C-alpha cells in the first residue's frame, strides 16, 4: 500500500522513528524521563470532549527516520503515556479504527491541511502533557472481489484517490482484497479503480453513473466487485490497451500498466 506525500503535513508516509514502544496503561502513573529521552502523556477526547478509551495514540517523529512509530493505548479514562522517546519533535495523533475513527497521521483521511498536535522534548522539557482529538468518524466500504465468470476470489491492485486533490491517494495490492473492509474519509469525493492482470479495469460508478464515491460519517457501502476477463488471464494486452491504461494512470484514477502491477 502506498500514500503520496508531497508536503510536511503528510507525516504517515515520510516521517517515522527508530524506536518502537507499545504500552498499555492501566493508569498513567508518572514515569520520569531518563537521560536523552522524554515522555508524552495526555488524554484522548471525542468531538464533544468526552474521554475515549481503547484509542491508539502515536508519537510520530518529525525527522526522516525509518522504524516503528511508538504508540500507547488509552485507558478507561482516556489517559495514555508514551515513554522512552528520544529528544526531538513529534506529532501526536489518535485513532480507533474498530469504531470507525481512522489514523489521523495518514493524510488520506485528513488531507494536507490537518492541524496535528505537536510536542518537542529536550533536556529542559523532557515531559509534555497534551490533549488529542480523536478526529472525525470515517465512512466504510466493504465487500468482495471475484471473477465475473467463475466467481473465484481475486486479490487485485486498487486505488482510491481524492477528486478535489488528486495528489492524495491510497493504492496497492491488498487494499481491496477478495473480502475487504476499508475506512474512507467522510464527506470526501473519491474515485475507485480496481485492476488485475487478465481482467478489464473496474471503476466505481454511483447511482448517477459517474465515478464519484462519497460517504457521510458512519455511512457504509457494500461493493460486490465482479471483474470481467479480457480474453484470458495469460493473453497479453495489445499496444492500444497498454497505452489506454498508461494514459489513465498518468491522469490519476487509472490502472498501472501490467508490468507495474505487483
Task: Give the per-residue pLDDT at 210.
Answer: 82
Task: Give the per-residue pLDDT at 252.
Answer: 53
Task: Give the per-residue pLDDT at 209.
Answer: 74
Low-confidence ranges of the chain (pLDDT < 70): 1-35, 65, 232-262
What residues have CB less than 8 Å from 150, skipping those under 6 apart?
A: none
37 and 129 together in one domain: yes
> Quick check: 12 and 61 in contact, CB under 8 A?
no
Give the range of the structural domain holding residue 214, as residue numbers without chain letter: 139-233
Helix, coil or strand: residue 205: coil
- Please report whether residue 256 resides in a domain: no
Cα–Cα distance for residue pair 112/188, rounded to 1 Å:
13
Burial 24-47, CB ≥16 within 10 A → b, else e: ebeebeeeebeeeebbbbbbbbbe
27 and 113 together in one domain: yes
What CATH code is carried by the domain that includes residue 75?
Answer: 2.60.40.10
Q: What is the DSSP string of 137-149?
A: PPEEEEEEEEETT
Task: Give the per-residue pLDDT at 68.
Answer: 87
Task: Give the per-residue pLDDT at 248.
Answer: 56
91 and 12 together in one domain: yes
81 and 193 together in one domain: no
110 and 47 together in one domain: yes
Task: Give the per-residue pLDDT at 105.
Answer: 86
> Quick check: 25 and 79 in contact, CB under 8 A?
yes
Cα–Cα distance for residue pair 262/247, rounded to 1 Å:
19
Whether the full predicted model's pTM is greater than 0.95, yes or no, is no
104 and 145 together in one domain: no
What CATH code is carried by the domain that includes residue 167?
Answer: 2.60.40.1120
How does DSSP classify residue 238?
P
Ranges of beta strands (E only) in 163-219 are 169-173, 179-184, 190-195, 202-203
59 and 154 together in one domain: no
123 and 151 together in one domain: no
Amino acid at each position: 500500500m502506498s500514500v503520496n506525500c508531497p508536503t510536511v503535513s503528510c507525516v504517515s508516509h515520510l516521517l517515522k522513528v527508530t524506536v518502537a514502544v507499545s504500552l498499555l496503561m492501566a493508569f498513567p502513573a508518572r514515569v520520569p524521563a531518563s537521560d536523552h529521552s522524554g515522555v508524552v502523556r495526555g488524554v484522548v477526547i471525542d468531538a464533544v470532549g468526552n474521554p475515549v478509551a481503547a484509542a491508539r495514540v502515536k508519537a510520530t517523529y518529525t525527522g526522516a527516520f525509518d522504524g516503528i512509530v511508538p504508540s500507547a493505548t488509552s485507558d478507561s479514562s482516556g489517559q495514555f503515556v508514551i515513554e522512552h522517546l528520544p529528544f526531538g519533535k513529534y506529532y501526536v495523533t489518535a485513532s480507533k479504527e474498530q469504531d470507525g475513527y481512522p489514523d489521523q497521521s495518514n493524510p488520506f483521511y485528513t488531507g494536507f491541511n490537518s492541524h496535528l498536535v505537536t510536542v518537542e522534548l529536550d533536556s529542559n522539557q523532557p515531559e509534555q502533557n497534551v490533549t488529542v482529538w480523536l478526529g472525525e468518524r470515517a465512512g466504510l466500504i466493504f465487500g468482495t472481489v471475484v471473477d465475473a465468470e467463475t466467481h473465484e476470489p481475486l486479490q487485485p491492485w486498487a486505488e482510491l484517490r481524492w477528486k478535489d486533490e488528486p495528489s492524495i491517494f491510497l493504492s496497492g495490492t491488498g487494499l481491496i482484497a477478495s473480502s475487504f473492509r476499508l475506512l474512507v474519509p467522510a464527506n470526501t469525493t473519491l474515485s475507485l479503480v480496481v485492476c488485475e492482470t487478465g481482467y478489464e479495469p473496474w471503476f466505481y460508478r454511483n447511482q448517477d453513473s459517474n465515478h464519484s464515491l462519497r460517504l457521510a460519517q458512519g455511512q457504509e457501502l457494500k461493493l460486490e466487485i465482479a471483474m470481467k476477463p479480457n480474453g484470458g488471464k495469460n493473453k497479453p494486452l495489445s499496444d492500444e490497451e497498454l497505452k489506454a491504461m498508461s494514459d489513465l494512470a498518468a491522469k490519476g484514477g487509472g490502472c498501472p500498466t501490467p508490468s507495474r502491477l505487483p
